């Protein structure tokens, strides 16, 4: 370890000496690591697509910042926290990575952000759901961009409770993310005068949800909330429709990414409402970017893809404005400058690292409303950022 | 739940029925493995991938060739079975005389490759396959709503399992097969083409996985990893039932479905471990499995 530090020191001194013209950029280049799930259940949500989106941002920025080239490295975290944190440690300690982007599973992100914080490197979190990274585990170097469980719960649950759907039943993914989502949603339900009449915790990767659907049916709830993600959501919704639950009560999918919505039968999913941080078909600007993404990646962007582009762009702009890639100076600049592009609307990056921006309450289109396979959501309402996200905690107010 | 005692019986009946439905599905899945693993003594870790292949083939057939669900029930198992035949002939037979670990690793690697290929081509989020029109309704029972499709799964599974059991245990062909796996030299001396029987049996076992895949497509999300999730459970069922016992695998499949269903009701968190708990207990008390003849 000592040896490595010495070598690193020598390397950085050498680099510093040799690149007098761009002395403000450490080791002569800006290097961004993209940590994602390349082959697992979240591969469509933030896998190669997150790498592509980051690449697009770098290219659109011009490929260099302050005269120094911008490089991207990427790796597969295999959805394992130990694998993810080991990769990030290697990146920041041996490979001069300045910021780590991508990031999907909340469990991996929790481990990876510990490493980035220790190394004083910036973590750009695009697709993780947990709100811990800007609350319980907040850090001056965390930036959480696209959405979080609070915005999902508030966005989807509140309008339904207000519309008189008071009794709720949860089908929850039995791990950190599901528990967090259920917890936050329960709070929103109770604050608005509703009650939770029951919950079933289904292990991650459950194939058959019929038992849980039966429990939900006999619970007397008005709404069954699916506090899960990915295939779990698809499979639970399929069972809900098959067992006639969708005719008896409402189903609320708390987290539905576009690739998952595409995998659902429109006859079944049509009419279900959810909250998202981005949709490709909002206006001319989102369509323009999404079209370019689609040409390169082959499918429409999920919200984390657009978020990965947007946050990378903001990071690079901040380096340019700060005149250095020093993490402290860059993060200060990122928080000073207002993110503003096709993704970030009415946006601010708060001192706790939470990027607060407009969210969208959307409805999954029914078969007769769809032009083609990519025509999935229609926007019911836009949720202003300050209503979507929880206020900043005083202990996370990193100035 | 507060109302738990009030709805106790009805809720329980519902869960029992759901458990039976899942059990009959498990029975169908473990049947193919029981034949390959139990009779041929080949550890086929690609069985889950073949199940996945069946579901994808059904989707591809519907979307590219216009072959509907009913036709897929016949065509897809044949195609998947053919894949199985080729696999046995060109991959497994060359290492038939090696340690069992070789076939385990080979089939596991093959399964990973197939899974990776489908993830690459169709993504990890899955494809949607609708329930066929004729089975999309349901029946209102006093204690629950029974979808027609699930009722169909029970019927189909009972018929397929019954026929297979009868074929292997009661017919001349089945007798050849059992004898051929027990003492291949002797059978060959009688002029029976044992390698051919083995290849066809392997193909048949794999075809059953393909059939289960077609039946699963309308109710579960069609994804590249759908098979790997189920494979270990199905292996556990075959082990609990007892190696070499076709009837054992069928009955254990049903039983495990019910036990898992009840666990989902009383303590859902344990639902994906309960089968392995049963396996541990059974192996401790009866190492040959519930219906197995020897360890």
Segment A30-56, tens digit of pLDDT: 999 999 998 888 888 999 999 999 999
Residue span of the structural domain in which B125 resides: 12-285
In terms of domains, do A251 and A289 share one?
no
Rounded CA-CA distance A139/A143 in Å is 9
In terms of domains, do A155 and A243 share one?
yes
Asked if A197's CB is within 8 angstroms of B268's CB, the reply is no
In terms of domains, do A189 and A92 share one?
no
Cβ contact B154:B21 at 8 Å: yes
Q: What pLDDT does residue A23 have? A: 52
Number of domains in chain B: 1
Residue A220 DSSP class? T
A residues 64..93 contacting B (CB < 8 A): none
Instruction: Single out the residue in A272, A294, A320 at which a domain terminates.
Output: A272
- B124 contact residues in A (CB cutoff 8 A): 39-44, 47
- In this structure, what CATH number is given to the domain that contains residue A323? 3.40.50.2300
Among the partner-chain residues B18, B230, B265, the one whose CB lies closest to the CB of A207 is B230
Among the partner-chain residues B22, B221, B261, the one whose CB lies closest to the CB of A235 is B221
Percentage of chain A modeled with pLDDT above 90 = 76
Is B228's Cβ below 8 Å from some Cβ in A? no
Q: What pLDDT does residue B5 have? A: 52
- B229 contact residues in A (CB cutoff 8 A): 205, 207
Considering only residues B251 and A230, tell me which one the structure prediction assigns the higher pLDDT. Answer: B251
A93-106 residue pLDDT tens? 999 999 999 999 99
Residue span of the structural domain in which A239 resides: 150-272
Residue B232 in any domain: the answer is: yes
Q: What pLDDT does residue B53 have? A: 95
Rounded CA-CA distance B81/B202 in Å is 8
Q: How many helices (H) and strands (E) are present in chain B, helices listed first?
A: 11, 2
- A243 contact residues in B (CB cutoff 8 A): 138, 144-145, 147
Asked if A231's CB is within 8 angstroms of B128's CB, the reply is no
Residue B290 in any domain: the answer is: no
Q: What is the mean pLDDT of residues A346-363?
A: 95
Cβ contact A117:A139 at 8 Å: yes
Rounded CA-CA distance B286/A383 in Å is 61
Output the pTM of the full model: 0.82
Considering only residues B188 and A358, tell me which one the structure prediction assigns the higher pLDDT. Answer: A358
The first and second tokens of residue B251, run together, are 């009955």
A272-283 residue pLDDT tens? 999 999 999 999
Q: What pLDDT does residue A124 have? A: 97
Phi and psi at A36, nearest 5°, equal -150, 175
Residue B169 in any domain: the answer is: yes
- In whole angstroms, how large is the CA radius of gyration of chain A? 21
Q: What pLDDT does residue A20 have? A: 42
Q: What pLDDT does residue A267 have? A: 86
In terms of domains, do A175 and A228 share one?
yes
- In this structure, what CATH number is given to the domain that contains residue B43? 1.10.3470
Instruction: Single out the residue in A247, A272, A297 at which a domain terminates.
Output: A272
Q: A313 vs chain B: nearest CA distance in angstroms?
A: 27
Residue A236 in any domain: the answer is: yes
Among the partner-chain residues A201, A235, A262, the one whose CB lies closest to the CB of B268 is A201
Helices (H), chain A: 2-18, 43-46, 48-61, 81-94, 106-118, 149-162, 176-191, 210-217, 230-242, 245-248, 258-262, 266-269, 284-297, 303-322, 327-336, 385-388
The answer, yes or no, to whether residue A4 has pLDDT greater than 70, is no
Q: What is the mean pLDDT of residues A335-342?
A: 94
In terms of domains, do A197 and A332 share one?
no
Residue B221 in any domain: the answer is: yes
> Searching chain B, which residue's CA lies closest to the CA of residue A302?
B125
- B131 contact residues in A (CB cutoff 8 A): 242
Chain-wide mean pLDDT for chain A?
90
A50-67 residue pLDDT tens? 999 999 999 999 999 999
- B123 contact residues in A (CB cutoff 8 A): 43-44, 259, 299
In terms of domains, do A12 and A102 share one?
yes
Is A43's Cβ below 8 Å from some Cβ in B? yes
Q: What pLDDT does residue A277 have? A: 95
Is B122's Cβ below 8 Å from some Cβ in A? no
Residue A5: which pLDDT band, with cuts at 50, 70 and 90?
Answer: low
Q: A298 vs chain B: nearest CA distance in angstroms?
A: 11
- In whole angstroms, how large is the CA radius of gyration of chain B? 19
Is B119's Cβ below 8 Å from some Cβ in A? yes
Number of domains in chain A: 2
Q: Single out the residue of B207, B210, B80, B216 nearest to residue B152, CA to CA.
A: B216
- A267 contact residues in B (CB cutoff 8 A): 130
Among the partner-chain residues A206, A207, A243, the one whose CB lies closest to the CB of B147 is A243
The answer, yes or no, to whether residue A13 has pLDDT greater than 60, is no
Residue A36 in any domain: the answer is: yes
The answer, yes or no, to whether residue A21 has pLDDT greater than 50, is no
Rounded CA-CA distance A355/A358 in Å is 10
- Across the A/B interface, how many CB contacts are shorter than 8 Å? 121
Q: B219 vs chain A: nearest CA distance in angstroms?
A: 6
> Searching chain A, which residue's CA lies closest to the CA of residue B226?
A207
- B264 contact residues in A (CB cutoff 8 A): 200, 202, 211-212
B residues 266..295 contacting A (CB < 8 A): 268-269, 271-272
Q: Please report, for residues A299, B193, B254, the alpha-carbon distance to residue A313 in angstroms, rounded to integers and kept in the order given.
A: 21, 68, 56
Lowest mean pLDDT among A118-132, A185-199, A377-391, B111-125: B111-125
Residue A370 in any domain: the answer is: no
Q: Chunked in runs of 10, what are the mean pLDDT values of chain B (295 residues)?
A: 53 85 89 85 90 95 92 94 94 86 91 90 84 86 84 92 90 86 83 86 93 92 86 90 86 92 85 91 90 67
């Amino acid at each position: 370890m000592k040896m490595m530090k010495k070598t690193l020191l020598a390397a950085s001194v050498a680099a510093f000496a040799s690149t007098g013209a761009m002395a403000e950029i450490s080791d002569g280049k800006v290097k961004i690591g993209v940590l994602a799930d390349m082959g697992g259940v979240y591969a469509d949500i933030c896998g190669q697509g997150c790498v592509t989106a980051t690449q697009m941002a770098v290219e659109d920025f011009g490929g260099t910042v302050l005269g120094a080239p911008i490089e991207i490295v990427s790796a597969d975290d295999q959805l394992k926290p130990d694998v993810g944190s080991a990769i990030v440690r290697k990146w920041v300690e041996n490979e001069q990575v300045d910021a780590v982007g991508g990031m999907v599973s909340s469990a991996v992100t929790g481990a990876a952000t510990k490493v980035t914080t220790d190394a004083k490197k910036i973590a750009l979190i695009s697709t993780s759901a947990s709100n811990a990274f800007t609350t319980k585990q907040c850090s001056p170097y965390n930036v959480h961009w696209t959405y979080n469980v609070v915005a999902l719960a508030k966005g989807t649950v509140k309008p339904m409770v207000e519309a008189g759907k008071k009794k709720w039943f949860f089908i929850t993914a039995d791990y950190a993310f599901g528990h967090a989502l259920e917890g936050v949603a329960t709070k929103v339900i109770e604050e608005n005068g509703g009650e939770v009449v029951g919950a079933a915790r289904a292990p991650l990767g459950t194939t058959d949800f019929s038992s849980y659907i039966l429990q939900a049916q006999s619970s007397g709830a008005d709404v069954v909330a699916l506090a899960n993600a990915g295939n779990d959501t698809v499979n639970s919704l399929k069972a809900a429709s098959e067992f006639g639950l969708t005719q008896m009560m409402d189903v609320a999918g708390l987290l539905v990414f576009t690739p998952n919505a595409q995998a659902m039968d429109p006859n079944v999913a049509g009419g279900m409402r959810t909250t998202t941080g981005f949709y490709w078909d909002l206006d001319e600007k989102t369509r323009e970017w999404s079209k370019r993404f689609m040409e390169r990646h082959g499918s429409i962007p999920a919200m984390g893809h657009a978020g990965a582009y947007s946050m990378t762009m903001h990071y690079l702009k901040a380096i340019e404005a700060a005149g250095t890639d020093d993490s402290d100076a860059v993060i200060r600049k990122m928080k000073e400058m207002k993110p503003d592009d096709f993704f970030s609307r009415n946006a601010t990056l708060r001192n706790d690292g939470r990027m607060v921006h407009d969210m969208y309450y959307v409805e999954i289109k029914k078969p007769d409303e769809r032009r083609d396979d990519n025509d999935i959501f229609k926007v019911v309402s836009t949720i202003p950022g300050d209503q979507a996200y929880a206020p900043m905690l005083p202990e996370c107010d990193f100035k | 739940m507060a109302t738990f005692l009030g709805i106790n019986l009805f809720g329980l009946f519902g869960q029992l029925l759901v458990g039976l439905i899942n059990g009959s599905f498990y029975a169908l899945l473990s049947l193919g493995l029981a034949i390959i693993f139990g009779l041929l003594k080949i550890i086929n870790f690609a069985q889950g991938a073949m199940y996945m292949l069946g579901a994808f083939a059904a989707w591809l057939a519907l979307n590219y060739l216009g072959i509907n669900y009913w036709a897929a029930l016949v065509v897809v198992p044949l195609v998947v079975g053919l894949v199985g035949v080729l696999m046995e002939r060109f991959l497994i037979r060359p290492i038939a005389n090696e340690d069992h670990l070789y076939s385990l690793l080979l089939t596991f690697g093959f399964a990973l490759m197939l899974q990776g290929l489908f993830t690459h081509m169709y993504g990890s989020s899955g494809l949607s396959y609708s329930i066929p029109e004729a089975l999309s309704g349901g029946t209102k029972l006093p204690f629950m709503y029974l979808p027609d499709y699930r009722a169909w799964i029970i019927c189909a599974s009972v018929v397929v399992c019954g026929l297979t059991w009868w074929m292997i245990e009661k017919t001349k062909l089945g007798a050849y097969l059992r004898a051929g796996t027990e003492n291949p030299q002797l059978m060959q001396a009688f002029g029976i083409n044992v390698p051919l029987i083995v290849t066809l049996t392997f193909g048949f076992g794999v075809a059953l996985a393909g059939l289960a895949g077609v039946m699963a497509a309308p109710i579960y999300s069609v994804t590249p990893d759908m098979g790997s999730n189920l494979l270990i459970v199905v292996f556990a069922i075959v082990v609990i039932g007892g190696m070499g016992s076709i009837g054992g695998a069928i009955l254990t499949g049903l039983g495990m479905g019910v036990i898992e269903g009840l666990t989902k009701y009383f303590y859902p968190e344990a639902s994906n471990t309960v089968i392995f708990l049963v396996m541990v207990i059974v192996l401790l008390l009866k190492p040959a499995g519930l219906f197995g003849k020897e360890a």
